[in-house]
Each structure stands twice: as structure tokens, then as C-alpha cells.
Structure 1
Amino acid sequence: MGALSIRQVEKTYAGNVRILKGINIEIEAGEFLILVGPSGCGKSTLLGMIAGLDTPTAGSIHIGERDVTHLPSKDRDIAMVFQSYALYPNMNVAQNIAFGLEIRKVPKAERDATVQRVAQMLQLGHLLDRKPAQLSGGQRQRVAMGRALARNPRLFLFDEPLSNLDAKLRVEMRAEIKLLHQRTRTTTVYVTHDQVEAMTLGDRIAVMKDGVVQQFGTPEDIYARPANRFVAEFIGSPVMNIVSAAQGANAPTAAGLPLPTTDGQQAALRANGCASILYGLRPEHLSLADSGVPGRLAIVEPTGPDTYATVETALGMLTARVPGTLHAQAGESVHLRWQPQHAHLFDARTEARVA
């Protein structure tokens, strides 16, 4: 059994509203699990059940060997970091970090040593006498993390901890959380709607939609082989290009243009009996060339290391991620080219991955 096992968990509220629909997830000790998905997908509800803040309608949750499905939060050996920090405004940083230890009657000498250890780890030593109102957003979040760390729990739970921070602080705190996990190797569950956070932090990612785990795997698996159209478009920025196509005798076609496929992709399409497909291409796999699919450059978006080029074609608007600076202007005629092995093929009826 893993460090965290979620088995056939369901949640139904009054009026027969199903929020979670048979969730199955298992991770090993020391892994960093990301629950990611759009608002309303059920990820925070699931985190609340792991935390003991809510109870499943069906199914079970195990932390290690223990079935904690109906245990109160205080008996689960967990620590949670909230989006709102949830610091006590009348206490200084040291008191906030030590509060949970004090409640559990930990001796003062041990509390003080723990506060010093955690403060050193999170670079909070110079802030221990300050109140939360005197801290920046990033510092408050570090204090919230410090309070969780002081517990030395079996499981860390993070509920969208960076969503209140500005873009620069989010990047900095993301690195802090990554370093913290590398130091402690505490099993962690982290909820976010931000796919960049998911890809950079997680050992495993559960992509959720409408109370269902659409795909569970490593960041590399999910990016390289998305299980369906939703995952393909949700993970990755800029979003994957999707072209609706009909399966021809030798290749899919769209707007009268053949879309290149490999022999293996063709075999998969035949085996699945796909009459119509969705043909997906990541922007980084499209390049501007002297020949290929003709189009007109509609939008040029320089980002520094890359340029996003949106091209109007007979296949629709397609976005290419071009390395460096693109020396071209909107309105110019261009061609797009790609290698067939980079295409992602989905059944248009089910939107499930075929090849």
C-alpha cells in the first residue's frame, strides 16, 4: 500500500449533485502529487476529504496502512497550507510557527528548537518577532509553510497556496516549495488550477474535470501522451492546436489537405475504426518554412526566448512557437511544416486518444 491511497471515492451533495465520481489515486512515500483542473472540477473537495474536513459518500482514503476515511483531521498526522495563509494576526512569526506544537503540549525547549530549525530552512530567522501585518505575501506564505513543517507530518496538503501572489512571487515561491520538498521528502498533495505549477512541481499529476480523473501520470507522460482532448488542451502553453479531419484511404484530410501520419498512427486509426478525428499539434512542433501548409501571419507575440506566431490557414488558426525573434510582420505570407510523429490523434466522437 502506498503513502496515500484514494479508492473509489465519491461525493454526492443534496439534490443528487455528484461532485466526485469514483476517484482512484495512489502515490508512494515522498512523492509530490498535483491535483489540477479548472474551477469546479472537484479537486478542492477531494483535498478536503484527504484532510478530514469532509467525508466521502462512498469509497475510502488510506494514509499509509491506516484507513482514515472517518477519522477527524487531528488524528490523521497531516499539515495543511491554505490559500489565505490563515495566520494568527496577534501572534508574531515564531508564535505562529510554534502554535500547533504548543496545543499538543510539546515542551518549550523542543518548541523553540523546532522554530529555529524551520526558520533557518525557510530563511525566516530575521522575521521571527514580526506580526503577519508586517510581512509581504511571500513571507506570510513561508510562515504558513513553516507552521506546517513544524508538525513534521506524514502528509503535507497545499490548497492553491500561490494564487494570491503576483506573478514574480509565484515563481519564487514555486521554487521554495520545490526546494522544501527536496529537503524533507514529505509526501505532498497540492491543489492548483495552474498547469505550469502542475508541470514544474509534481512527481505525479491527476488532471481532473467534472469530478473525474481524466489522466494520472508523470508530467512527461501527460504532456507527451495526453489521454484525451481535454488533457491535451489543458496541459501546455500555448494551447495545443486541434484540427478536425476526416479519415481518408491513406491519411486524414481537412479542408482538402492531407495531414501526414506515420504507419503506426494509420494502423491505430484503422484498428479503432475512426471515421473522423481530431489532429493535434503542440505549437513547438510547428515551424515556419518555405513550403508546407500556406497561410497568412495573423499575430506575432515575442516573449523573449520564443515568439508565438499565429497563422491563418485553411485548417484554421494555428499557433507556432518559434525559437528566438521572428523577423516577420503580421500580414505576411508564410508556410507551416511539421513532422507526422509529433501529431496527436483523437477520436472525434469520444475525444479519447487513438495515437
Structure 2
Amino acid sequence: MGALSIRNVRKSYGETHILKGIDLEIDKGEFLILVGPSGCGKSTLLSMIAGLDAPTSGSIHIGERDVTHALPKNRDIAMVFQSYALYPNMNVAQNIAFGLEMRKVPKPGRDAAVARVAKMLQIEHLLERKPGALSGGQRQRVAMGRALARDPLLFLFDEPLSNLDAKLRVEMRAEIKLLHQRTRTTTVYVTHDQVEAMTLGDRIAVMKEGVVQQFGTPDDIYDRPATRFVAEFIGSPAMNMLQARSTHEGLSAHGIELALTAGRAERLRAQVGSEWIYGLRPEAIGFGANGLPGCIRMIEPTGPETYVSVETGAGTLVARLPGKIGEQVGDNVHLQWDAAQAHLFDASTEVRLPE
């Protein structure tokens, strides 16, 4: 049994089904990301792990214990909220120590824990300040310090960086990753940000409408997306998608033959007339002397990379190219890619066809 086991967990409010049978298991020390759009059920699932809500059916185990209906205080967890949830009338040291005080930890033990986490998070100079005198990033560190002081079996993070500006989010993301590397505490982290998911997680559960669409490592999710939804949700810019139909020759999008591996071409020739979605990551596409002709409609330089939107006979494709480019809007170009880097999704089920 893993550090956290979620078994066929369902949650309904009357006829409204929020979670539709969630099965996840993570090992001790792993960092699990629950990611998905608003309303997918990820925060509801986190609330059930925390004991703030109860499942309609199914079970939740932390280690060997069934905690499905246990109170939060009996689960040995620590949670960091999106809103930080600091006590405004207490200083930083008191906020960090408050949970320990409620558990009747003697003062020497509380003081030692405060000193330990303050040093770890580099907030020793803030211990006498009130939350109102702190920046957003400092408040987030204090909220993490309060969780760390507990030394729990499980850390739970509920979109902890969503209230921070872009630069601070990057800094705090690195802090959380370093923190996990130091403590190796099993962690569940909820976010709607696919960059946070890819950079922080050992494993990722991509959720949509109360269902886990895919559960795997960041490489699995990115390189072998199980469904069209996962392919489009993870990755920026999003994966290009072309509507296509299988033919006797292979696969065609608006009369243009699309490159396929030999194995896929053979399979599709046995299903002439079937509808498919042909997916290409933007970074898989390059310019060449030959290939799919098109006209540049938009150029978006980002500094280290340039995103180029090209209108072709098969549909509009976005290429992600390194550095700067010499081409201009209106120029004609040829797009090239390796057939092995293309993804195929069944147009009706949106499930990916294996290589």
C-alpha cells in the first residue's frame, strides 16, 4: 500500500456528480499534481483527502489507515491554502507555532520547530512581524512554514501560487520544489497551471469533469497524451490539431496527405473513411526547402523562442522555433516534421492511437 491510496472515490450533490470514480495511489515521498480546468473536481478531491469533505462512496487511505471518515486533526496532514489563512493578530512566529500549541507541544519544542522552519525558508528576520506587514511571497513562506512545523505524513497545497504575480510565482515554484527535495514529504498539489504541473510533479493526474483522463509522469503526459483533452491542456502553445480522414494512401486533411509512420499508415488503410485528429506539438515543426506549403499569418517573438502561425491547405499550424527568425508576416514557407512525432486521436472517442 502506498503513502496515499484513493479508491473509487465518488462525490455527488443530488443529481450533480462532481467526482466519478477516482483511483490514485502514490508512494512515500512522491509529489502528486492534480491539474485540470476550473470545475474538474480537483479541489473537491483535495478537500476529501484533508477531511474537510466526505466522499459519497469509495475510500481514502493514508499509509495503512483508512481515513475516509476521520477528522482532519486525526489524519496527520498539513495544508497550505490559496488564501494563506494566516492569523492577522499574531506575528509570524506565533502563526507558525499555533498548530503545535493546539496540539499541546511544549514551548521548547514549539520554539525549536519555529527556528528550524524559519531557517529553512529564510524568514528568520520576519518572525516578529504581523501578516499585514508582509509581501505576498513572504506570507506564502509563512503559510508553508506553519505546515512544515508539523512534520506531517502528507502535505496538501491548494493552488498556493495563484494570488502571486508572474515573477514571484516562478520564484515560489522553485522554493516549493527545493522544499520537497529537502523534506521528501509526500505531497498533493492542486493547480490549474500546466507549467506548475510539469515542473513540480513526480506524477500528474489530469482531470476533466470529475474523471482522471491520465495519470503518469510529466514525460508520459507530454510525450504520450492519452486523450485529445490531455494533449491540448498540457503544453504551451497547445498542440496543433488537424481534422483528417483515412484514405487508401494513408491520411488526408482537406486533400493533403499527412506524414505517418509505416505502422500507423498500415492500420489506417484498413479503416478507409474513418475520421481522425492529427496532432503536432509546435516544437516538432520546422521550416525547410520542401514540405507542406503555407503563408505566415502571425509572428510572436518571446526572446529565446518565436511562435509562428502558418496558414496551410491542411489547416493553421503554429510552429515553435528557437531564437529569432528572418521571415516576415505574409512570407511563404514550407513546414516539415518527423512523422514519428505526430499523434493520432480517434475523432469520435478522442483517445490516442498508440504508435
* 2:5 corresponds to 1:5: yes
Cα distance in 2, alignment partners of residues 211 and 81 from structure 1: 23
Match of 1:39 in 2: 38
CA positional deviation for 1:273: 7.9
The AA in structure 2 aligned to 1:204 is R
| SS of equivalent residue, structure 1 residue 140 | helix
Residues 254-275 of structure 1, C-alpha deviations (whole Å, 9 max, x = no match)? 1111101111223454678881
Q: Secondary structure at the match of 1:138?
A: helix
1:66 partner amino acid: R
State the shift of 1:329 in Å. 1.1
On the 8 A contact 2:248/2:272 being kept in 1, the answer is: no
Contact 1:82 1:159 (8 Å CA) reproduced: yes
Name the residue aligned to 1:71.
Answer: 70
Aligned length: 354
Aligned to 1:117, what secondary structure does the other structure show?
helix
Partner residue of 1:121? Answer: 120
Distance 2:8 2:302 in 1: 43
* Uncovered stretches (5+) of structure 1, i.e. residues with no partner: none
1:166-245 equivalent positions in 2, closer than 5 A: 166-245=165-244
Question: Does the alignment pair 1:100 with 2:114?
Answer: no
What TM-score, normalized by structure 2, do the two folds share? 0.98
**Contact 1:272 1:354 survives alignment (8 Å):** no
Task: Tell whether the 8 Å contact from 1:274 to 1:347 is kept in structure 2 after alignment.
Answer: no
Contact 1:269–1:354 at 8 Å: present in 2 too?
no
Change in CA separation of 1:59 and 1:303 when aligned onto 2, cut-off 3 Å: same
Contact 2:250 2:269 in 1 (8 A): no
| Letter aligned with residue 221 of structure 1 | D
Moved over 4 A (4+): 270-274
Label 1:212 to 1:274 Cα distance change in 2 as closer, same or farther (>3 A).
farther
1:60 is paired with a residue whose SS is: strand
Partner of 1:135: 134
Residues 354 and 304 of structure 1: CA distance in aligned 2, closer, same or farther (over 3 Å): same
String of CA shifts for 1:250-297, please: whole Å, max 9, x gaps: 310011111011112234546788811100000000001122111110
Structure 2 distance, partners of 1:116, 1:273, is 69
Tell me the amino acid that sits aligned with residue 147 of structure 1.
R
Equivalent-residue separation in structure 1 for 2:156 and 2:310 (angstroms): 42
Q: What's the offset of the Cα at 1:248?
A: 1.0
Greater shift in the superposed pair: 251-260 or 229-238: 251-260
Contact 2:96–2:146 (CA under 8 A) maintained in structure 1:
yes
Correspondence for 1:145: 144
SS of alignment partner, residue 83 of structure 1? coil
Q: Which residue of 2 aligns with 1:162?
A: 161
1:185-242 alpha-carbon deviations (Å, 9 max, x no partner)? 0000000000000000000000000000000000000100000100000000000000
**Closer, same or farther in 2 for the Cα pair 1:108/1:7, shift >3 Å?**
same
TM-score (norm 1): 0.98
Change (3 A) 1:227 1:273: farther
Tell me, yes or no, if the aligned pair for 2:249 and 2:269 is still in contact at 8 Å: no
CA distance in 1, matches of 2:269, 2:68: 45
What percent of counterpart residues are identical?
71
Structure-2 change in CA distance of 1:282 and 1:68 (3 Å): same
